[in-house]
Amino acid sequence: MVENSQIQLVEKPTTVNLNRFVKPIDINKLVAQYGTPLYLIDEDTLHAKAKELHKAYSKFKGQVKVAYSIKANFTPAVVKAFMRDGIAFDLTSLGELYFIKQCKADPENVIYTSVTEELEEYIEVLQSGVRRIVVSSFNGMANLSKAASKVGGGAAPLTMIRVNPEVGVKAEVRASYRNSKFGVPFNGGTIDSAAKMIKHLMGSDLLKFEGFHFHLGSQITDFSCYTHALDKMDAFIIKMKKENPAFQVNTFDIGGGTPIFYNDPVPTPAQMAENHIGKLNQLAETHGTSTLMIESGRFLVAESAILVSRIVNTKEYNEHKIVIVDAGYHILLDAALLKQEYPQEVVPVVLDSKDKTTALATVKNTHLAGRLCDTYDVFPLSKVSNLSESEVGRYVSFYNVGAYSVVFNMPFHCQTKPPIVMKDSDGKFRLVRKGTTHDQLFREEGGELE
């Protein structure tokens, strides 16, 4: 045991309310039924976030469309929840398109932004009835044009150009920097530039120019990059209009990036929108733009999910305590990749009213580690993490894990995928993804071919 003199209590979280949508008593019941690790998702949070993001841009003097970037979490139950909100879907691959089709989402509600931009890919996209496509290279645009001529029938695809505004972005993940792989510069000196691609599109019978798209990064907390990107966009459109007065931009898509809380408080979507809504309205008025698209992965899903893990081992030395849980970066990759500080909390013990408990203190230097035999499998703590009472057998909840977590599940150390349980809007819990087994993994890895 640790001497009292060595004990220091972790400060109680004060500033941020974590989304504790499952009561400890229900967590205990769910882990008894499904085991740990276990992801829990709250449907109500998904709807609330979709509403909040849309409302944030309500001062836009045109139509606002929110598109869910399903790369953040493609669990069919999540996709179906957002279908009930009537929002659009931002897709990047044929695999994601397959998921959307299986969920019976309306292809009219899809915006497709590929990195690969292959001819066969675009043929399948158009055959599926998707009409809104973002191209990111001259070759991609030529492939879309060929695909449109092959597929034929119906109206020309609404074609947007993904520009790389080459602005400085202060964010956890940056997508706009000079010579980035995404989009094309306004004027790059080659055919891979928005200026050249617009000329081609304006003369095309097969594709209809619809507007511009940019995506600056993820978890953006300094919004000046949006202002800079929109200023550059404005100047570029003015230049294009001088060359061709018929040039019209119907849609602006300003990509994703809306941040969520992990370690430090972040601005709300309303505060974010306040930063650039004036510029967006000015652009819309000057250039006749009727539609604004806001893409989001992280903001829409992150706070909807908790990962529950079990403490399986602890050890103490040199005033440090190592707490080992049965989770790891194989199910929470960004903890290792981005050093993401997911808030963690030991799940309170559910007591009978007559039971008494003595609170266990936290050792000063508590480290939360995963089950993998890898140096990087240690979870950074959030400022609001509370690991008091971290004893073997207790459960630890990781909050705000709904984005970029289940989509990265991997079998390192022959680990299986945890099940996912959704708390539906009626308050009932429902299994929405089964966990996988070692037997399934063995067969997937070719075990049955030997």
Ligand X SMILES: Cc1ncc(COP(=O)(O)O)c(C=O)c1O
Binding residues for ligand X, rule: CB under 6 A, are 69, 71-72, 90, 113, 215, 218, 255-258, 295-299
Shortest Å, Cβ 297 to ligand X: 3
d(C-alpha 247, C-alpha 113), whole Å: 22
CB of residue 69 vs ligand X: minimum separation in angstroms? 4
Pick 37 or 217: Cβ nearer ligand X: 217
* Nearer residue to ligand X within complex by CB, 109 or 366: 109
Neighbours of 168 (CB within 10 A): 13
Query: How would you label 122-138 residue by residue, b for 16+ Cβ within 10 Å and e otherwise?
Result: bbbbbebebbbbbbbbb
From CA 35, how far away is CA 28, in angstroms rounded? 10
297 versus 370: smaller Cβ distance to ligand X: 297
Nearest to ligand X of 2, 270 (CB atom): 270
Q: How far apart are CA 216 and CA 226, in angstroms?
A: 8
Rounded least distance, CB 225 to ligand X, Å:
13
Q: For the packed helices 194-202 and 224-243, what is the interaxial angle rounded to 10 degrees?
A: 50
Q: Identify residue 410 by its one-letter amino acid code.
A: M
**Nearest distance from C-beta of residue 360 to ligand X, angstroms:** 38
Q: Residue 404: helix, strand or coil by DSSP?
A: coil
Identity of the residue, 13 or 267, whose beta carbon is nearer to ligand X in the bound complex: 267
The vertex-166 CA angle with 140 and 133, nearest 5°, equals 30
At 41, give phi and psi (nearest 5°).
-125, 140
Q: For residue 275, with 0-12 CB atoms within 10 Å meaning exposed, 13-18 middle and 19 or more buried, which class applies? A: middle
CB of 66 to ligand X, least distance (A): 11
Q: Please say which residue, 258 or 386, places its beta carbon nearer to ligand X.
A: 258
If the CB atoms of residues 90 and 326 are measured against ligand X, the closer one turns out to be 90
Separation between Cα atoms, residue 274 and residue 167, nearest integer Å: 20
Name the minimum Å distance from CB 92 to ligand X: 7
CB closest to ligand X, residue no: 256
- d(CA 172, CA 400) in angstroms, rounded, equals 16
Q: C-beta of 270: minimal distance to ligand X in Å?
A: 16
